[in-house]
Amino acid sequence: MATAANRVLMLYINSSDPSGNLKETVGFILKSYMPVWLAIKKSKYFTNGPKHVFQAIQTSRYLSDELLQVVDPIIQRNAFFEHTENFLLTMLVNEREHIRELGCRRILKARQSFLKKKTVRNFVQPKICFQASYYIEIMNWNSCVVYPSPMLRDLSEDDIKSLINSDATPIRKMQKFPCHTQAVERSSNL
């Protein structure tokens, strides 16, 4: 994807009289795409995934309503990190203790309701709130089914509660999985 952005920027640089559409595309690359791409490269772990989606939303808000009607469905369709099981892991490693505590409570509640279900769960992305002012406000927790993360299945309730106040926890080790790799980038087509 960075190659496509690079080619568009080269086309812009080599154009003596760039079109309005090309200028708009270059503006999007510089104001939204590249800052998000660099943030992913800098903070590459999957626990940062919801924050990257939030940054993509925030940096694209300058676009006209007409262009937002194109961009927003793409963000919604590709927001896999907004699924509750991923989102809860991000909350558990948040720098703010009250958000870690909220994540812990939601995980424990999800575990209780998950034990009662006898069906295979569907991986359904929640509807994104594009007007959110902080990444934990992106989804309406009351309107989505909350699933506990399979990565936490080996942790007891006490282990999960200990994640709130501790820096030396199992989640810190799990946090090292990348959210984006060059292999993924190579297989992505425009």
Q: Does residue 36 have a pLDDT over 90?
A: yes
Q: Does residue 170 have a pLDDT over 60?
A: no
Gyration radius of the chain over CA positions: 19
Least confident of 37-41, 109-113, 183-187: 183-187
Highest mean pLDDT among 99-103, 120-124, 170-174: 99-103
The pTM is what?
0.82
Q: Does residue 182 have a pLDDT over 70?
A: no
Share of the chain above pLDDT 90, in %: 38
Average pLDDT value for residue range 68-86: 90
CB of 92 within 8 A of CB of 155?
A: no
User: Exposed e or buried b for every residue in 54-76, given b needs 16+ CB within 10 A?
Assistant: bbbbbbbeebeeeeeeebbeebb
| Each residue's pLDDT tens digit, 114-144 | 766 677 777 777 889 999 999 989 988 888 8
Average pLDDT value for residue range 4-12: 93
Band of pLDDT at residue 190, cut at 50, 70 and 90? very low
Average pLDDT value for residue range 14-26: 95
**Residues 6 or more apart from 110 whose CB is under 8 A from it?**
84, 88, 146, 147, 148
